[in-house]
């Protein structure tokens, strides 16, 4: 898995793009995802009517509860996947790690740690134990948070975000899981506020996030 963190080749991104196309049926755009009042440069990212998240109960890789309250007061990047994912997940987490390092470097380190968090949600509870998640996420960034739960608990969150996942055919230990490839952004009010389409590149994540955050400040403090 250590090798996964450093893989950023054209061929791997090509594989990722193919996987994204294959999984397009596992993502849908909610009816409220319009672009009527959103600036042109944010039409593909910011949600017209942000969705206030309701309660859900999951557990992080340190065996601590993770719920809606953990999303309040900071920006949260959320990505859904699983530790046995062959391409999309390691590539995306690598790009998020690069983005996180650069975003943090451009602002006060302590402030950055409090203002932004990165959450990896495993949708493979059958194989991804807490110990497995702890080991996996640490290879990408020790500050990242990995969370999971039983299928019913995961659905409490995914259903609110328009995310679907499905376990494919195989054996009890060897199978693929189809899942959304987008990175979602939750605002400090614990609302689903924006999303980044795959394939993911750190430069685009950084640029997009800066623009989204500026737009958010304008919305929160209109003249």
Instruction: Return the ∠ at Cα 23 (arms to 25 and 5), rounded to 5°.
Output: 150
Q: The tokens 């690069």 sit on which residue?
A: 98
Q: What pLDDT is stored for residue 106 in this prediction?
A: 77
Q: What pLDDT is stored for residue 114 in this prediction?
A: 66
**Cα-only R_g, the chain:** 17
Distance set, CA 209 to CA 79, 83, 202 (Å): 15, 26, 10
**What are the boundaries of each domain within the chain?**
2-33+41-220
Q: What pLDDT is stored for residue 112 in this prediction?
A: 52
DSSP letters along 87-145, please?
A: SHHHHHHHHHHHHHHHHHHTS-HHHHHHHEEEEEEES-TTT--HHHHHHHHHHH-TT-E
Q: What pLDDT is stored for residue 36 in this prediction?
A: 42
Stretches in the chain below the pLDDT threshold 70? 1-36, 107-114, 223
Q: What pLDDT is stored for residue 108 in this prediction?
A: 59
CATH number of 2-33+41-220: 3.40.30.10
Query: In 3D, which of 106, 99, 124 has the Cα closest to residue 183?
Result: 99
Going by the DSSP 8-state scheme, the letter that residue 163 receives in this structure is: B
3-state secondary structure of 176: strand
- Residue 160: CB atoms within 10 A of its CB come to 17
């Amino acid at each position: 898995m250590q090798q996964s963190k450093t893989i950023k080749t054209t061929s791997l991104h090509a594989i990722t793009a193919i996987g994204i196309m294959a999984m397009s049926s596992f993502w849908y755009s909610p009816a409220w995802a319009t672009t009527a009042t959103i600036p042109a440069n944010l039409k593909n990212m910011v949600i017209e009517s942000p969705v206030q998240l309701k309660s859900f109960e999951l557990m992080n890789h340190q065996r601590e509860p993770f719920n809606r309250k953990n999303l309040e007061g900071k920006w949260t990047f959320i990505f859904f996947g699983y530790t046995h994912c062959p391409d999309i997940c390691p590539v995306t987490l690598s790009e998020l790690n690069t983005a996180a390092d650069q975003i943090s470097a451009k602002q006060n380190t302590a402030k950055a740690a409090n203002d932004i968090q990165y959450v990896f949600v495993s949708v493979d509870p059958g194989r991804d134990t807490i110990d497995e998640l702890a080991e996996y996420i640490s290879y990408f960034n020790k500050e990242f948070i990995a969370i999971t739960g039983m299928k019913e608990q995961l659905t409490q969150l995914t259903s609110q975000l328009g995310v679907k996942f499905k376990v494919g055919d195989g054996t009890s230990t060897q199978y693929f899981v189809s899942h959304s490839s987008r990175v979602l952004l939750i605002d400090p009010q614990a609302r689903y506020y924006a999303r980044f389409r795959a394939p993911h590149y750190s430069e685009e994540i950084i640029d997009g996030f800066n623009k989204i955050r500026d737009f958010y400040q304008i919305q929160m403090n209109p003249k």
